[in-house]
Each structure stands twice: as structure tokens, then as C-alpha cells.
Amino acid sequence: MMTIHPMNGTGGKRPPCIWMQAGVVPRRICTNAYECTACHYDRALRRTARENRLLRDAGKVFGGKRGAIVSWKDKLKALAPWQRPCLHHMKGRIAFRACSHDYQCGNCDFDQYFNDQFTVFAVVRPVDVLDVKGVKIPQGYYLHAGHCWVKIEEDATVRIGLDDFALRVLGPLDRIEAPLIGKEFTQGAAAIALSRGVYSARALAPVGGVVTDVNPRLRERGSLANADPYTEGWVLRVHAGNLRQDLRRLMIGEQASGFLDQEIERLYQVIEEKAGPLATDGGHLGSDIFGHLPRLGWRTLTAAFLHT
């Protein structure tokens, strides 16, 4: 049985950067929870490694520390196959396991299996969650203005779902349907279909890309997302070919929490306009807003907050 450690489980120790573990740099501590795609240091080293490889192919060599930088993957590939650590082991999630796919995680059945299991069982700890008047979003999750979240995984692959705010507003959904695997769409496309009884809506894609995986359970029980928006409630995985630019249009950390605070206040205004000032006390946001106040109107809520 595979042992899955807590998310980025380092036992309280300062986690070593992947580049340090590979032996490319002598000392570097990860400060980004192994979200390498969003790490400036990782991007800088990747760029330098790529430039050095082009120079070597042209018969030129840079001296000094800069010239010694190679891709961490290439560095580990120089080891015997049974000595090459799986990326999940390097991130402190599992005991040692050798990589069997030359660090091409997208082609690895174990990586797919691990991510599915990790998503279900690695519950986000309370200390890792931002709480904005009762609405939660985990640290490290990007947020789109249409209330879909993005969690970066590996090699430009991201996981996408609906945020806690949208699910509280719309209430328990009967069905959440993602595009078919292999389908390509752009950021901002009305890609995710939602339904509750006779009502339906679409959520905007927070990033563009090609669908690589979907959560089939949400087709029959959309309410799973309401119960657990950020783990079991994930909707789809996407290989995002334009991730760096798409991330510029998303929010994270304090920016995301500030946005949610504004959205809650805007929701209170909608409630007061439609249902009167006694319908809300301005405190923590409850759940199933539409179910308790259907006079707000499904179309009004989806147009205002999903932007569709």
C-alpha cells in the first residue's frame, strides 16, 4: 500500500528545493510549497539550463557557476535508473520510489494514480486555508474572477474546480460537467456546465488548455463539490500551454482574499436590493443562498458572479 504523507509533508523541516536535491545548486530551500511552475527561481534556472544546452550543442561552453547549470532532470538522468528518485518522493509525499519514465510525468501511470489518490486523501490543513467571512480558499490556489480555482501541478498541468463562494451562492448542484478529455479551450471560455433542477449555467475556464482528466463523480453528484470544493470537488485537469500568461489574470493570496471580501459585500447588496435588509446581517456567509432566497433569481446570481 502506498503511504501518502500530508501535503508537501516535510515534517516541519525547511524543504529542500528540487534543484538542490538533484545536485545542481549547493543549497536552496523551497519557499513556494513545491509549486515550481509559479516559482521565479525555478524559471530562471530552467532558462539558464536551456541556454547552456544550446551553447553546448553549438560547441561553446560558459565557465564558472553559470556554465555548470544543467536541467535538474538531466542531472538525475545521469544516475543509474534505480537511483533516480520519483518527483513525489523529492517533494516529501511518499517513501523512495524510482522514476521509470525519465521524469516525463504526463506519461506515467503512477503519477496519474498518485494525483487522484492525493487529491482525495490529502486534506488541506486549516492553517493553510484563508477564511474570508466564512468563505474559504486554500493558500497556493489561484482564483479567477468567475469563481473557479486553479491548483498548479506538474509540467503546466493544473487542476480546476469551483470555489467555495460560488458553491455557497448556487447551493448543492445536481450535476457538474467538464468538457471531454482532449477538448481544447481558451481562458474565459464558458467551459464548465452546472445544473440544479431546472436551472443551468456555465462557469468560465480560469486558464486555457487541453483537458487531460475529468472528475466523473460530479456528473451524477455535483453536490460533492459543495461538500469539499478543493479536494474531492475538483472538476477537471488541464494541460495549460499558455499558463504563464494566463496566471497574470488570476489572483492568489491576499489579492484573492481581498477579491472574495468584495464579492461577499456585493452579494449582500444584491440580497438587500431583492429581499430587503433583514435577509442578511452582514456576518459570515451561509450556504445555499439561492435555495433560501430563490427570489434573488438564478440568472441574476449567475450573471453577477459567474459572469456568464
Given pLDDT bands bounded at 50, 70 and 90, which one contains residue 205?
A: very high
Task: Give dist(CA 114, CA 93) in Å, integer.
Answer: 10
Given pLDDT bands bounded at 50, 70 and 90, which one contains residue 4?
A: very low
Helix (H) or strand (E) holding 143: strand 142-143
Range name among 74-88, 205-219, 251-265, 281-295 with the lowest pLDDT average: 281-295
Name, of 54-63, 76-85, 110-119, 280-289, the range with top average pLDDT: 76-85
Task: Give dist(CA 2, CA 197) in Å, integer.
Answer: 40
For residue range 219-229, list pLDDT tens digits in order.
989 999 999 89
Q: What does the block give as the cell for 93?
A: 509525499
Given pLDDT bands bounded at 50, 70 and 90, which one contains residue 143?
A: very high
Q: Tell me, what DSSP letter sits at residue 78? A: T
Given pLDDT bands bounded at 50, 70 and 90, which one contains residue 9?
A: very low
240-256: average pLDDT: 92
Confidence (pTM): 0.64
Range name among 59-63, 65-69, 70-74, 113-117 with the lowest pLDDT average: 113-117
Start-to-end CA span in the chain (Å): 44
Nearest to 44 by CA among 74, 19, 80, 78: 19
Instruction: Quote the pLDDT of residue 116.
Output: 63
DSSP character string of 223-285: HHHHH-TTTTT--EEEE-TTHHHHHTTSB-THHHHHHHHHHHHHHHHHHHHHH-GGG--SSS-
Residue 8 has pLDDT above 50, yes or no: no
Domains with residue ranges and CATH for the chain: 18-120 (no CATH), 128-308 (2.40.50.100)
Task: Give dist(CA 298, CA 296) in Å, integer.
Answer: 7
61-86: average pLDDT: 89
Given pLDDT bands bounded at 50, 70 and 90, which one contains residue 258?
A: very high
Reported as half-sphere exposure (CB side, CA atoms, 13 A), residue 252 has a value of: 16
Residue 282 has pLDDT above 80, yes or no: no
Name, of 58-72, 86-100, 108-122, 254-268, the range with top average pLDDT: 254-268
Task: Give dist(CA 73, CA 107) in Å, integer.
Answer: 15
178-184: average pLDDT: 93
Instruction: Quote the pLDDT of residue 283.
Output: 59
Residue 166 has pLDDT above 90, yes or no: yes
Whole-number average pLDDT of the chain:
86
301 SS3 class = helix
Residue 54's CB is within 10 A of a number of other CB atoms, namely 10
Instruction: Quote the pLDDT of residue 13.
Output: 66
Given pLDDT bands bounded at 50, 70 and 90, which one contains residue 115?
A: low
Opening angle at CA 106, ends 117 and 252, nearest 5: 70
